[in-house]
Chain A
Amino acid sequence: MKKSLKICIKVDDNVIYEFAGKINEAMMIEAANDIEKLLLESCFNKDKVKNVFELFVETAQNILNYSYRDKIVDDNSLETFCNYSLYCFTSDSTYVLESCNLIETYQREIIKEKLEVIKDLDHKALRKLVRQKSRSKEDSHEKGAGLGYIMMARKSCAPMEVEFSPYDKEGILVYKQRLFI
């Protein structure tokens, strides 16, 4: 993997948004605004636009907060040099949001544990879990509420897919995630 970033959105296999480069918070906000605009132009289901937008943000903030990075630029901008791609396309009215970034090996078990908790939960149970964890703050930490994966499952129309692949550096994995919205 090279030091680049790729974000693209496809509708019926047509790319409607694509971006390549490094990521930081400002770029994520700009991308989110562009994605919102493009979705509002191409999708009449406001609820779907809301869910895609919110899951794009959730995914991008996960990448910003938890990606392996070999350099942190000054002033807490947390620009990351890891390689990832993010795209969304529709077929039978389902948007697919796919991302790919580098993580440290120990994070694989954390992600697996989170997914194990939610894998058999239906929509109602996921809503209940959000309420429970929001009030208990049991998974909350400095960077977030620890609710990201539950929200992803709640706003998705099919189970998310994740994949961990080796990377050519010890202790680092390539993490791929695909959401169906």
Chain B
Amino acid sequence: MDNILLDETDNSPKVVMNKDKGLISFEGKSYPENTFAFYRPITEWLKHYFLSYKDEEKKTCINFKFLYFNSATTQIIFEILDIIEESKVKNINIYWYYDKESESGLEDFEDYSEEFPTLNIEAVTY
């Protein structure tokens, strides 16, 4: 399984999925023309990553730093969090970044963190 590194574009986020460093991050805008096709390799990567998660000492950091995103991305984020939750893997730190002036950014954090209480998603404002 290769690492994934996608550069940010006008309508898609920078994506880093580094299995060696245990780093997964999304940063930027997310409204690709075909959102599900864009994220399919990413969700498949995540499934494999967590299936082969043998080392209990291993730590993984997941950063969600979306500036704007469409409704299909909303569903994808739920799917990603579902994959993580179902894996039952420990030692995962999940951070949700949002503009401190953004009420909707806070609401998004609340929705995800309340929907996935066992994942202990942390808010980070900027």
A11, B36: Cα distance in complex, Å: 35
CB-CB contacts below 8 Å: B68-93 with A = 68-72, 74-75, 77-78, 82
Question: Are A155's CB and B104's CB within 8 A?
Answer: yes
Question: Are B31's CB and A57's CB within 8 A?
Answer: yes
Q: Which of B31, B36, B69, B82 has the most CB of A within 10 A?
A: B31
Question: Are A142's CB and B104's CB within 8 A?
Answer: no
A22, B34: Cα distance in complex, Å: 20
Stretch at the interface among B20-28, B44-52, B95-103: B95-103
A42 at the interface (CB under 8 A from B): no
* 22 interchain pairs, CB-CB under 8 A: A32-B10, A32-B31, A33-B10, A36-B68, A46-B99, A47-B101, A47-B105, A57-B68, A58-B70, A61-B70, A127-B107, A131-B111, A133-B75, A134-B74, A134-B75, A134-B78, A144-B71, A145-B71, A145-B75, A147-B75, A150-B71, A151-B74
Which residues of chain B are near A160, meaning CB under 8 Å? none
Task: Name the distance in Å between B43's Cβ and chain A's nearest Cβ.
Answer: 12
B33 at the interface (CB under 8 A from A): yes
A43, B75: Cα distance in complex, Å: 29
Which residues of chain B are near A155, meaning CB under 8 Å? 104
A61, B69: Cα distance in complex, Å: 12
Name the prevailing secondary structure of the B interface residues.
Answer: helix
A131, B115: Cα distance in complex, Å: 8
- Given A25-B33, A134-B78, A145-B75, also A54-B68 (CB < 8 A): yes
B11 at the interface (CB under 8 A from A): yes
B18 at the interface (CB under 8 A from A): no
Which residues of chain A are near B111, meaning CB under 8 Å? 127, 130-131
- Given A29-B11, A61-B70, A145-B74, also A50-B115 (CB < 8 A): no
Question: Are A47's CB and B102's CB within 8 A?
Answer: yes
A33, B10: Cα distance in complex, Å: 8
A61, B99: Cα distance in complex, Å: 25
Task: Name the distance in Å between A98's Cβ and chain B's nearest Cβ.
Answer: 19
Question: Are A50's CB and B104's CB within 8 A?
Answer: yes
Q: Which of A25, A36, A47 has the most CB of B within 10 A?
A: A47
Question: Are A29's CB and B75's CB within 8 A?
Answer: no
Partner of A46, one of B31, B70, B102, B107: B102
